[in-house]
Chains A and B, each alone.
Chain A
Amino acid sequence: MTGPVNPIRNQFIEELKQSGFTDKQIVVADESRACYGYDATRQSADPMLVLLPENGLQVETALQLAAKRKLKIFPRGAASGMSGGSIPSSDGIILSLTRMKQILEIDQENMIATVEPGVITGELQEEVGRLGLFYPPDPASLAFSTIGGNVAENAGGPRAVKYGVTADYVMGLEAVLVNGETIRSGNKCVKSVSGYDLTSLLVGSEGTLAVITKILLKLLPAPETVKTSLLAFPSMTAAAHAINAMFKNQIEPSTIEFLDHHSINAVRDGLPFSLPEEADTVLLVEIDGTATGVLSQSQKLKELFKDDALLLIEAQNESEREQLWIARRRLSPAIANLAPHKINEDIAVPRSAIPEVIARLENLSEKIALPIVCFGHAGDGNIHVNVMLDKDDPDQARRGHQAIDEIFAVTLELGGTLSGEHGIGNTKSAYLDKEWNPATIATMRAIKRAFDPDNRLNPGKIFQQLERYL
């Protein structure tokens, strides 16, 4: 893995050291750099250098010095990304924000946390939880992904149906531009309308506009209690009707997860409860809030579905709650046993279109002769679509690719979007123009150009190659 000694790199390193970077913050060794070039998509490329800044000033310094030499910069959080957002190029520099992991302030009066980007989402939740506060966004990766990465991808989770996604909690940001200057947006005010809303622009920008160095997050009072129920229905349509009925009857679940029948079959054995044979769709429903509110809503839930549901189990305590969640948690490893590989997309559609999407994907599965397993967030229409295949079989690989094209086509036709959570990154950039018209993409590119004229900040993400980008 030894590459040629790179004079530009050496000069750059020299300047970094003169500006206060320590040896430990500059990763040069081949074998160490090799561990900063992958993410959860399993793509991998070794960056020419890795920097581990410890504060916003160091980020500024790094970007200023990189600007002088027109070096490319790739921001990286925990690299749990599912769309290749942090994958570098071999002539690029990984800027790992993992060392900037301080919770700077928890303002209890205004219920706002100020954090550095490398704070782990779950650790923030734990800290604010100790004060009776609540940071709701709950991507499944919360135990290891960073707030910075969550903001950059606008991550969401099961609780989105009631509480929304990361964007709904970002009150303000500090971010360093590609030339090394810091910009600020937002503040602690609930009402704040001065100038363009740069916060909204940076949330979900996937590290292509600026490097986020400080984040103000809205907090809520922690809900008193939560009640979890599992319901089984004979069809996806029946389940969809059930969800509508919940909302119409003033039940406001914080989570509605669903498993389609392939998912059910994958986990059926070894569940701590038995599922009726006819169960085609399972819903995992959580209701949170005050004790009295939760009680009355969950009674209503039981009332409503006592006839229609094939099964309705309500968890009475934490360990029963855990048992109900087992079905959902075991899903990923369980479906991995169905085939050597999976292509996994996280489309989203309006909630009402879920049964239609599932039915059309069922047909598609038959057509391409590959299993397609769907599960996800029924409350907000975000569906994890998994095409199971053996990529080493060229014919299966071809059919898999065909499937993706069709999945996206169906999704867009039904008013959906390419990605509900994971972002475009470099894995979905080829499809961007299927969702947006040329004028819209041109506007996005103009914004990118305004922030990053030389295309040096996380190039190759969201938009395809340079020619089309400029």
Chain B
Amino acid sequence: MTTSPWQQELKKCVKCGACMAVCPIYRQTGREEMVARGKLNLIERLNDKNELPPGWIEAVDLCLLCCSCEENCPKGVKITEIIADARYRQTEQLGLNPIKKSAFSLLKNRFLSLPRFLKAGSFLQWLLWRRLPRHSGLVRRLPLPGLDDKTVIPALPQKHLDDYLKKRQTPTSNLKPVIYFPGCATRYLYPQMGLDLLYVLELLGFQGVVPKELNCCGMVTWGAGDQKSNQELKQRNLEVFRKHSDIKEIVTGCASCGHALKEYEDLPQECEILDISEFLFRHREKLEELVGTDKLEKKITYHDPCHLRKGQGITSQPRWLLKLIAGENFIEMRHPERCCGAAGTFGLSHKEISREILAEKAHDTDATGAEIVTSGCPGCLLQLTEGAVVADSKWQAEHPISLLADLLRKGVR
């Protein structure tokens, strides 16, 4: 394998062990080679070795890229970059491992060219579902390799966000344009959430422009060590941003997209990536006025998406928003910062550990007695919906923006 370009970075790790306190994989496995400190040790020691022992491959593979360790690392070691790079160099040498490969090729294709994929119907044939009452997600009916009967795959909507947008009449006068980057999950799995976000933007006086050519943000491909696709996607998006460089604010409602986009090195000048909660907080006076005294009459709680909290350092804005929506009915869960175990393709390729992590999250959610658990990331919402199925609980998982939109629609009516 080639030498890591992160040599100096690897040396920054002082083996203090602080990452042990927060790594979800370490919590579940209790194995030192699974925590950041151990992974870095292996990556450093087996740097230019040709033979990669199974333990090395497993350690590099078993990571949620949740950034928990990074947030907690006193030396600021860029752990997830190092791990993603190790995956890249590993796939260069060995190719993707088979489980990951099947799960990943599905996701990648889906994200890269989902519309065509769906039209061919193969996607639907591959997955057989059963609709579950109470839940927006679906539970599979037949056993398929790698998935069990509790795996939730969202109700595949008839239409994508793009279909809705085609027909949607946006009053352009008086509205200030911002770019809305929906991300794949919102586009294809949660289009209503995208519409909710656009609706709120409009009430605030902004038009969310969604250029059709926007691609996947690249997070999934980066995480899987597929640097080539990652670069390709990044370049395509940057081109779109450059084309619209007169619009300075790019808003997203997906924590992972936001995290990925903020890492793009050559964004057009003055161009700013904003999570929707950040954006709304900037316009809090207007929004507070719009909401008035209306409050959601349901108990809600909140799960910090890793890529929002640890990836972008955003914790207070979503909480401000939830208090605005639900007031005293917003209850913090224990350990809201703990990863839910979704992490892109991880939940598919490492079902068992992902489930164990999820079970703890479900337990903490249950303990709040909330009817709705919110989170600013479609990936988390999917996982949390599965959590309700696994734990046989009744809560729903919603994006805060959807709750806000509902509240505002009521007020407007």
A interface residues, Cβ below 8 angstroms from B: 1, 29-32, 34-36, 38-42, 44, 52, 78-80, 96, 98-99, 120, 122, 141, 143-145, 332-333, 336
Within the complex, the shortest CB–CB distance from B61 to chain A, in Å, comes to 13
5 A-B interface contacts by CB (under 8 A)? A32-B31, A35-B33, A36-B32, A143-B21, A144-B20
Decide: B75 and A336 in contact? CB cutoff 8 A.
yes
Given contact pairs A35-B33, A145-B17, enumerate 10 new A-B contacts (beta carbons under 8 Å): A29-B53, A30-B55, A31-B33, A35-B37, A38-B15, A38-B41, A39-B15, A78-B17, A332-B74, A333-B76
CB contact under 8 A between A80 and B16, given known A35-B33, A35-B38: yes
Classify chain B's interface size: 20 to 34
B18 at the interface (CB under 8 A from A): yes
CA distance A44 to B41 in the complex (A): 10
CA distance A167 to B17 in the complex (A): 23
CA distance A292 to B59 in the complex (A): 53
Decide: A143 and B18 in contact? CB cutoff 8 A.
yes
Within the complex, the shortest CB–CB distance from B62 to chain A, in Å, comes to 13
B45 at the interface (CB under 8 A from A): yes
Within the complex, the shortest CB–CB distance from A389 to chain B, in Å, comes to 16
B30 at the interface (CB under 8 A from A): yes
Closest to A145 in B: B17
Decide: A52 and B30 in contact? CB cutoff 8 A.
yes
Q: Which residues of A contact B56 (CB under 8 A)?
A: 31
Q: Which residues of A contact B32 (CB under 8 A)?
A: 32, 35-36, 79, 96, 98
Give the residue of A31, A38, A144, A336 whose beta carbon is less than 8 angstroms from that of B18.
A144
Closest to A141 in B: B17
B240 at the interface (CB under 8 A from A): no
Closest to A39 in B: B15
Within the complex, the shortest CB–CB distance from B360 to chain A, in Å, comes to 13
CA distance A38 to B45 in the complex (A): 13
B54 at the interface (CB under 8 A from A): yes
CA distance A98 to B27 in the complex (A): 11
CA distance A4 to B15 in the complex (A): 28
Decide: A144 and B55 in contact? CB cutoff 8 A.
no
For the complex of A and B, 9 pairs with smallest distance between CB atoms: A31-B55, A35-B38, A143-B21, A35-B33, A144-B21, A80-B17, A35-B32, A144-B20, A31-B53
The total of Cβ contacts below 8 Å across the A-B interface reads 72
Closest to B76 in A: A333
Q: Which residues of A contact B42 (CB under 8 A)?
A: 31, 34-35
B14 at the interface (CB under 8 A from A): yes
B46 at the interface (CB under 8 A from A): yes
Q: Which residues of B contact A144 (CB under 8 A)?
A: 17-18, 20-21
Q: Which residues of B contact A42 (CB under 8 A)?
A: 14-15
Give the residue of B30, B55, B75 whose beta carbon is less than 8 angstroms from that of A99.
B30
CA distance A41 to B17 in the complex (A): 11
Within the complex, the shortest CB–CB distance from A37 to chain B, in Å, comes to 9
Decide: B45 and A34 in contact? CB cutoff 8 A.
yes
Q: Which residues of B contact A41 (CB under 8 A)?
A: 15
Interface residues of B in 9-34 (CB under 8 A from A): 14-18, 20-21, 30-33
Q: Which residues of A contact B45 (CB under 8 A)?
A: 1, 34
Decide: A40 and B17 in contact? CB cutoff 8 A.
yes
Q: Which residues of A contact B76 (CB under 8 A)?
A: 333
Q: Which residues of B contact A44 (CB under 8 A)?
A: 41
Within the complex, the shortest CB–CB distance from B41 to chain A, in Å, comes to 6
CA distance A42 to B14 in the complex (A): 6
Within the complex, the shortest CB–CB distance from A147 to chain B, in Å, comes to 14
Report which residue of B20, B37, B59 has the largest number of chain A beta carbons within 10 angstroms of its beta carbon: B20
Q: Which residues of A contact B41 (CB under 8 A)?
A: 34-35, 38, 44
Give the residue of B20, B21, B46, B75 whose beta carbon is less than 8 angstroms from that of A31.
B46
Decide: B46 and A40 in contact? CB cutoff 8 A.
no
Closest to A41 in B: B15
**B71-115 Cβ-contact flags toward A at 8 Å (1 or 0):** 000111000000000000000000000000000000000000000
Q: Which residues of A contact B59 (CB under 8 A)?
A: 31
Within the complex, the shortest CB–CB distance from B129 to chain A, in Å, comes to 36
Q: Which residues of B contact A34 (CB under 8 A)?
A: 33, 41-42, 45
CA distance A39 to B15 in the complex (A): 6
Q: Which residues of A contact B14 (CB under 8 A)?
A: 40, 42
Report which residue of A38, A52, A144 has the largest number of chain B beta carbons within 10 angstroms of its beta carbon: A144
CA distance A445 to B68 in the complex (A): 44
Closest to B75 in A: A333
Decide: B20 and A32 in contact? CB cutoff 8 A.
no
Decide: A78 and B53 in contact? CB cutoff 8 A.
no
Q: Which residues of A contact B74 (CB under 8 A)?
A: 332-333
Report which residue of B16, B30, B32 has the largest number of chain A beta carbons within 10 angstroms of its beta carbon: B32
Give the residue of A36, A39, A98, A141 whose beta carbon is less than 8 angstroms from that of B30.
A98
Q: Which residues of B contact A79 (CB under 8 A)?
A: 15, 17, 32
CA distance A314 to B15 in the complex (A): 35
Q: Which residues of A contact B38 (CB under 8 A)?
A: 35
Within the complex, the shortest CB–CB distance from A132 to chain B, in Å, comes to 17
Closest to B56 in A: A31
CB contact under 8 A between A78 and B55, given known A31-B42, A35-B32, A35-B42: no
Q: Which residues of A contact B53 (CB under 8 A)?
A: 1, 29-31
CA distance A120 to B14 in the complex (A): 20
CA distance A387 to B37 in the complex (A): 25
CB contact under 8 A between A122 and B31, given known A35-B42, A42-B15: no
CA distance A141 to B15 in the complex (A): 12
Q: Which residues of B contact A52 (CB under 8 A)?
A: 30
Within the complex, the shortest CB–CB distance from B40 to chain A, in Å, comes to 10
Interface residues of B in 254-288 (CB under 8 A from A): none
Q: Which residues of A contact B75 (CB under 8 A)?
A: 333, 336
Q: Which residues of B contact A336 (CB under 8 A)?
A: 75
